[in-house]
């Protein structure tokens, strides 16, 4: 470490910075990052306008944390006045199989690729801290590290740092890794040479827009999160809106459709970090087994997984929507059993699932009995609406 530091500091100012950046990139690769780039805190002025329009349209839904202190998100200097350079890092988590194939196995649940392994936040934050310590020991300055847990616009900053570009689906696309990059950032008071901003290579392609099951993209480069399956199954705390239930299919945590269909994935490669690799039990779990999870079993099943953060009730809600879409009468028992669950959120989803798997007459009879015992107004409304929808027309 001492020899490296001395070598960097003996050089002239400009040469010293270039040498430091080269060494920084090398150290990042040694620590397990797959790509690295540097940009300035003032590089995302255009993104700020797009973000404000997104908020004004209410497209963020219930994600109130996005609207809190937008000035911190739209300019890194709003988060930390002392920042002079932003180092953006990427870790490849490319899948080893087609993420869309599971959608044909309707009795099994589809979990987003990023959530099939260990939670990336912990892994990447440790690497960011290690790289930040190396930077301070080598060149001085102050640092702060961020990985998807603060008001940082990672994707515009990553494009400004040359890691990729924001595609028409608003996610980052890389020429080397396709759609599959976890991002992290190091803010520093050091002045480091900037990378060139990556150009947009989407061209006329709009495969990501066309494949979206819920039409969540009102226009290229614009997302309405309120229609996005990832939002609906993860961030949304209430019942899944009825208009989206059929379109969700068997997606029980997130959605990879717009990522997986991108043509740039032809250059992607499977991730090399074993901790981020998919666990076998999360690749295509059976819906019937998942529906039996109580809180303790849910926590045990999803320990160290991002899925754990939504809690058992929201997860079972998602599983029940998938059960209702499975077109498998054998799953009706799973829905029936959950009509008595302690959670109103679960009971309401069970009502809808059962309605999809039960003849209308039998369901109407079941509803008449249930309404007399159900105390929750929301679940009672679900019974009434679902019974009306299931009733055959005369």
Confidence (pLDDT) at 319: 98
End of a domain among 235, 262, 285? Answer: 285
Number of domains observed in the structure of the chain: 2
Confidence (pLDDT) at 63: 86
Contacts of 185 (CB under 8 A, 6+ apart): 86, 87, 88, 89, 128, 145, 146, 147, 152, 154, 157
Confidence (pLDDT) at 57: 87
Residues 202 and 321 in one domain: no
End of a domain among 238, 257, 285? Answer: 285
Residues 76 and 225 in one domain: yes
CB 90 within 8 A of CB 181: yes
Residues 137 and 269 in one domain: yes
pLDDT mean by block of 10 residues, the chain; 394 residues: 41 65 96 97 86 86 80 86 97 93 97 93 94 96 90 93 97 94 96 96 97 97 96 97 98 97 88 78 96 97 94 98 96 96 98 96 91 92 86 48
Whether residue 34 lies in the annotated active site: no
Residues 116 and 227 in one domain: yes
Confidence (pLDDT) at 286: 98
What is the 3-class SS of 124-148, one letter each residue? Answer: HHHHHHHHHHHHHHHHCCCEEEECC
Q: How far is CA 324 from CA 249, 319, 351, 384, in A?
A: 9, 9, 9, 17
End of a domain among 257, 285, 313? Answer: 285
Confidence (pLDDT) at 16: 63
Residues 190 and 265 in one domain: yes
Residues 73 and 130 in one domain: yes
Residues 236 and 356 in one domain: no
Residues 364 and 279 in one domain: no
Confidence (pLDDT) at 7: 42
φ and ψ of 171, to 5 deg? -90, 160
Confidence (pLDDT) at 40: 96
How many whole angstroms separate alpha carbon 88 and alpha carbon 92? 13
What DSSP assignment string belongs to 228-271? -HHIIIII--SPPPHHHHHHHTTEEE---HHHHT-GGGGG----
Confidence (pLDDT) at 221: 95
Domain span at residue 351 reads 286-394
Residues 368 and 235 in one domain: no
Residues 53 and 132 in one domain: yes
Q: pTM for this structure?
A: 0.91
Confidence (pLDDT) at 321: 98
Annotated catalytic residue within 62, 118, 119, 148: 148
Residues 162 and 187 in one domain: yes
Confidence (pLDDT) at 62: 86
Residues 244 and 346 in one domain: no
């Amino acid at each position: 470490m001492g020899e490296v530091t001395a070598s960097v500091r003996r050089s002239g100012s400009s040469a010293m910075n270039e040498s430091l950046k080269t060494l920084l990139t090398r150290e990042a690769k040694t620590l397990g990052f797959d790509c690295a780039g540097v940009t300035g805190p003032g590089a995302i002025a255009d993104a700020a306008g797009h973000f404000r329009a997104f908020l004004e349209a209410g497209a963020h839904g219930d994600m109130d944390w996005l609207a809190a202190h937008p000035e911190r998100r739209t300019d890194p200097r709003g988060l930390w006045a002392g920042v002079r350079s932003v180092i953006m890092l990427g870790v490849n988590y490319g899948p080893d199989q087609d993420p869309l194939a599971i959608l044909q196995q309707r009795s099994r649940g589809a979990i987003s690729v990023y959530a099939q392994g260990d939670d990336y936040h912990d892994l990447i934050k440790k690497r960011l801290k290690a790289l930040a310590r190396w930077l301070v020991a080598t060149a001085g300055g102050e640092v702060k590290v961020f990985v998807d847990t603060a008001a940082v616009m990672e994707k515009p900053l990553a494009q400004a740092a040359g890691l990729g570009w924001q595609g028409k689906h608003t996610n980052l696309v890389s020429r080397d890794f396709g759609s599959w990059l976890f991002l992290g950032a190091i803010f520093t008071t050091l002045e480091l040479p900037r990378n060139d901003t990556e150009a947009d290579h989407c061209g006329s392609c709009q495969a990501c827009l066309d494949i979206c099951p819920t039409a969540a993209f009102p226009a290229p480069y614009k997302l309405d999160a309120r229609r996005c399956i990832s939002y609906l199954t993860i961030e949304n705390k209430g019942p899944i809106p009825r208009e989206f239930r059929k379109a969700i299919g068997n997606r029980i945590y997130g959605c990879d459709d717009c990522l997986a269909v991108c043509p740039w994935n032809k250059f992607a490669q499977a991730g090399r970090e074993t901790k981020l690799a998919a666990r076998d039990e999360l690749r295509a779990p059976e819906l019937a087994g998942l529906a039996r999870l109580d809180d303790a079993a849910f926590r045990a099943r999803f320990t160290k997984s991002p899925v754990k953060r939504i809690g058992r009730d929201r997860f079972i809600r998602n599983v029940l929507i998938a059960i209702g879409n499975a077109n498998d009468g054998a799953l009706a028992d799973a829905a029936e059993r959950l009509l008595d669950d302690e959670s109103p959120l679960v009971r309401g989803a069970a009502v809808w699932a059962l309605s999809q798997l039960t003849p209308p007459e039998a369901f109407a009879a079941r509803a008449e009995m249930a309404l007399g015992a159900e105390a929750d107004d929301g679940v009672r409304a679900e019974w009434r609406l679902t019974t009306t929808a299931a009733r055959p027309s005369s």
